[in-house]
Amino acid sequence: MAKKEVFVPAMEGRACVVRRGETIRIIDVEGQQICDFTCFNLHNPQEKLSTGETVNFNFSTGIHVTVGSRFYSNVQNPMFEIIEDMAEGVHDLSFAPCSSAFYAKYMEDPTHRNCRDNLTEAVKPYGLRLIDVPDPVNLFQHSRPRADGTIDVQPAATKAGEYIALKALMDCIVAVSACPYDGEFEGKRPNGPKCTPLKIEFV
C-alpha cells in the first residue's frame, strides 16, 4: 500500500516534496495522458531540472531515457533515477510546457488551461514563480524526430494504471501537470480521446 498519494486532476497541476532515497510512481490513471514533470533542489531551488543536461549525461541513449537513466540539474547533479518504466522509454525531452501564448497562437484561445500555468501555480507555495519553472520531461509523450527534422507525434504511450517509478537522489520539490492539450496534431490526439488525471504515489 502506498505511503502517500497526490491526486492530480485532469488539466491541473500539483507539487510535493520528495526526500532523497524516496521512490515515487507517476501513474497514468486512465491511460494515454502526458505528464509534464519537473523538479527543484528543495534547499536551493535555483538548482532545477535541465532537459539539456539530462540528454548530455545520458549520452549513449540520447533522448531515450528509461530504467537506469537519470534526470540531471542545471548544475550537472543527478536528481532522479528511473527504476521502473512501463512506457519503455517513450518520453519527450524536447518540448517546453504548453502555455497561454501557445494556445493563443495555435488554437486562438489564450484562456485555455496550460502546463506552464499549472506548474507555476503548483510551486507558488514554495516561493517560486513562472520565471523559475524549467522545461519539463514530458513523461509518456510519444513524440520522435523524423529524418527530415519534423516531429512525429502519436498518442501517449501508457495504458490505464501504468507508471514510471523515480528514485530521488536529492531532496526535491516535484511539480507535475496533467497536460491539458485536447487538440489534434496531424489528425492524432497526443492525450488520447480526452485529458485525464494522474497520480503521484510514494512507495
Q: Tell whether the model's pLDDT for residue 101 goes beyond 90.
A: yes
Burial of 200 (0-12, 13-18, 19+ CB in 10 A): buried
- Kindly report the backbone phi and psi dihedral angles of residue 103, in degrees, each rounded to the nearest multiple of 5, phi listed first: -70, -30
Q: Tell whether the model's pLDDT for residue 117 goes beyond 80.
A: yes
Q: Tell whether the model's pLDDT for residue 146 goes beyond 80.
A: yes
44-93 residue pLDDT tens: 999 999 999 999 999 878 788 999 999 999 999 999 999 999 999 999 99
Number of H helices and E strands in the chain, helices first, is: 3, 12
Q: Return the closest-CA partner of residue 156 out of 66, 62, 52, 30.
A: 30
Q: Evaluate if pTM is beyond 0.75.
A: yes
Average pLDDT over residues 115-139: 98
CB 49 within 8 A of CB 136: yes
Average pLDDT over residues 169-182: 97
If you search the block for the grid coordinates 499549472, which residue do you land on? 118
Residues of the domain holding 194: 4-202
How many domains, in total, are found in the chain? 1
Where is pLDDT greater, at 115 or 106? 115
Cell of 171: 531532496
Q: What average pLDDT is seen over the chain?
A: 95
Question: Residue 48's beta-bridge partner residues?
Answer: 40
